[in-house]
Amino acid sequence: RMLSGYKPKNNVQDSYKILDLEEGCSLDDVRNSYHSLAKKYHPDSSSGVADSKAFIRVEEAYRVVLSDLAAKQKSEPGEEEEDQFKSKSLQHRHYLSFEGVGIGTPSQREKQYMQFRVDRATEQVLEYRQQRLEGRYAGSDLSRAKDVRQSKKVKITQAVERLVEDLIQESMAKGDFDNLSGKGKPLQKFSHSPHIDPMTHNLNRILIDNGYQPEWILLQKEIRETIERLRKSIVASRRKLGEPMTLSEQKQWGGICEQFAEDIRKLNKRVDNFNLVVPILSRQMVHFSTDKEIRRARKTYEAVLEKVSGSDTKENEGEEGKRFGWKSSLLKWLKL
């Protein structure tokens, strides 16, 4: 439009009305109003009232109002220069990719974005390790002593690393590494799969080497350990009550079942949190049922009882066999 000499058809008053503004407003008000209307009427927006014609009218009104404010500002001394009111061309759509990082051609910006991701991942790993150390030593009276021991460990580790490096350099000088297999060949830095992004593969390798685990894996492990602990505890509680249960033992069993139901309810909340962060749909978990878990505990308890009773009967049969064995042997001798 600037190259073709295009001039908007709206006058100043109509332009203020289109932008829902009054004359004498500030530059920030004009910009805020334009941004909100542009998001509302832009054809590429997801708004239900998107209209290209309305967007063109809003843009023309915005230019007219900016020109009017620039003229007023130029006539008033002591204010900012006119360049502040010049409209800035909107960023092209392909510049919105790569999180707005980088300059130049798309390939150059892609390389800059990959380096940015590596730097960001490294910073996140360092922050994660720092938070772990702070959480481990925070709130303890011996935190200073632990910090001193930790610093000593770091110094010892650094000294060992320097010693190892000196030994490696000495061995290289002697020629101990000259006959190694694979000498002169490139290292296998990336995965052989062509469908994996090399930068993503490197980032994952760096995170794994530094002991990072995603949140959903930690939650999954915690849920499995918790349900196993609850199952073992309710079976152990049932075995303590014995069979058959008296009235007091039945009341006690009812309290145990209520506490077990409350623990299952809390565990299901963790399952909901896990389903929100798990990246794979097939890895999502279903809620645990209190009734099913109680029935499962009863079946486990009955199986234990049957096993114990079977071992008792075998012991009794063995004792009876020993007791009456001499009689059967005497009868066999008489028959012979």
Q: What is the pLDDT of residues 87-110, one digit of tens each?
A: 444 444 555 566 767 777 878 888
Pairwise CA distance, residues 323 & 332, whole Å: 16
Domain residue limits, the chain: 12-72, 98-139, 140-175, 200-309
Amino acid at 329: S
- List average pLDDT for each run of 10 residues in the chain, which is 336 residues long: 48 83 82 84 75 84 85 64 48 58 78 86 85 69 65 79 85 79 66 70 77 85 93 89 83 91 94 90 91 90 80 58 59 65
CB 77 within 8 A of CB 71: no
pLDDT of residue 87: 46
pLDDT of residue 69: 83
CB-based burial, 278-310: b 16+ in 10 Å, e otherwise: beeeeeebeebebeebbeebeebbeeeeeeeee
- Reference 119, options 222, 239, 199; nearest CA is 199
pLDDT of residue 223: 94
Q: Whole-model pTM?
A: 0.36
CATH architecture of residue range(s) 12-72: Orthogonal Bundle (1.10)
